[in-house]
Chains A and B, each alone.
Chain A
């Protein structure tokens, strides 16, 4: 057997991995204190003007579906609540950290990648809704970042990325299978590593790490299961392309645990499409 290329270490050592704005950390701290007022949080967010204006665009979009105009961050907090606003800030920041940088490689189009990511977030949110999960917003973020490891690979080791891309294509296999065959690391692990560095919630970290191998014996199984399912359903709807042209096989266990057999798929597809349509605002704010 051919020796696998050792790239894990070099990826772990990269110091230029995008960071989230300081405001995220500040928000987390503020939110831990029950005494924190909407004004204080509003102030913390508005110190980053560019971010604040994106947050306002998002909260006024169909994605959050609030009728009427929200003109200040403080107003947004009063209406949507702390946790939603924090999720909006987090989503906008993640998107920002990667959107502008990097170019695709031949055949791997970054626009397609982001459409796939947004669609996965939207689908995860729809599945969460239909299965009665109370983590809709978190599921959106998990779907949005599930393949983020591919971007890191593409930006920092473009040759290796290209190699994996070509290998997947030639052998008609999935991207992670190609990574598995060639390297000592996969995009799930790279993404998980980033999610850890970013201090994202544990369930989100696990959803990124295990979206291709969900196991009910692991913690935070439900969010992982939802992202696994979302990734597959959107590929069936042609929102593929995270570097391959194949569809992974659905885990029996995920299908069962989410109760998918009792959910009419056409209805779910419709809900997913609606959600994607609303979420396409993300492509317009950056």
Chain B
């Protein structure tokens, strides 16, 4: 397996690992044959690297890309700014925050 940036995707590469969306759902499952066009699309979804079948080109290990707790909180607070006084919105905020945190930790 090798980890590559999405803009280095070539036609015919095979996914070694599932590609997950922003909240941990699977967008493409392992084994899918991908194309460079699909690679560009993945970039639009905020995905920067994927793992495909084949040998690692370089020996250096790339770091896992993961969302930290703080990043998640900041992002959500931005979207929810001004509405968390509303009890329903507060409830949604808390539930979604915990759900997403749990999801990112699962990976």
Interface residues of A (CB under 8 A from B): 109, 111-112, 115, 172, 232-233, 235-240, 245-247, 249-250, 252, 255, 260, 265-266, 269-270, 273-274, 276-277, 280, 283
Nearest CB to that of A112 among chain B residues?
A: B44
Given the complex, which residues of A lie within 8 Å of B23, measured CB to CB? 237-239, 273
- Is B96 a contact of A269 with CB atoms below 8 Å? yes
Query: How does the 8 Å CB contact mask read for B26-43 relative to A, with 1 for contact and 0 for none?
Result: 111000000000000100
Interface residues of B (CB under 8 A from A): 21-28, 41, 44-45, 75-76, 78-83, 86, 88-89, 91-93, 95-96, 98-100, 103
Distance of B40 from chain A, by nearest CB (Å) = 9
* Contacts A235-B79, A247-B83 given; does A273 touch B25 at CB 8 Å: yes
Query: What number of A-B contacts does a CB cutoff of 8 Å give?
Result: 82
A202–B59 Cα gap in the complex (Å)? Answer: 60
Q: Is the interface of A mostly helix, strand, loop or mixed?
A: helix
Distance of A285 from chain B, by nearest CB (Å) = 13
A30–B78 Cα gap in the complex (Å)? Answer: 50
A237–B21 Cα gap in the complex (Å)? Answer: 10
Distance of B50 from chain A, by nearest CB (Å) = 15
- Is B21 a contact of A276 with CB atoms below 8 Å? yes
- Is A233 a contact of B22 with CB atoms below 8 Å? no
* Contacts A237-B23, A277-B25, A277-B27 given; does A246 touch B79 at CB 8 Å: yes
- Is A277 a contact of B88 with CB atoms below 8 Å? no
A112–B41 Cα gap in the complex (Å)? Answer: 10
What are some 26 contacts across the A-B interface (CB < 8 A)? A111-B44, A111-B45, A112-B44, A115-B21, A236-B76, A236-B79, A236-B92, A236-B95, A240-B79, A245-B78, A246-B81, A247-B83, A249-B86, A249-B88, A255-B88, A265-B92, A265-B95, A266-B98, A269-B95, A269-B96, A269-B99, A270-B99, A273-B25, A280-B25, A280-B26, A283-B27
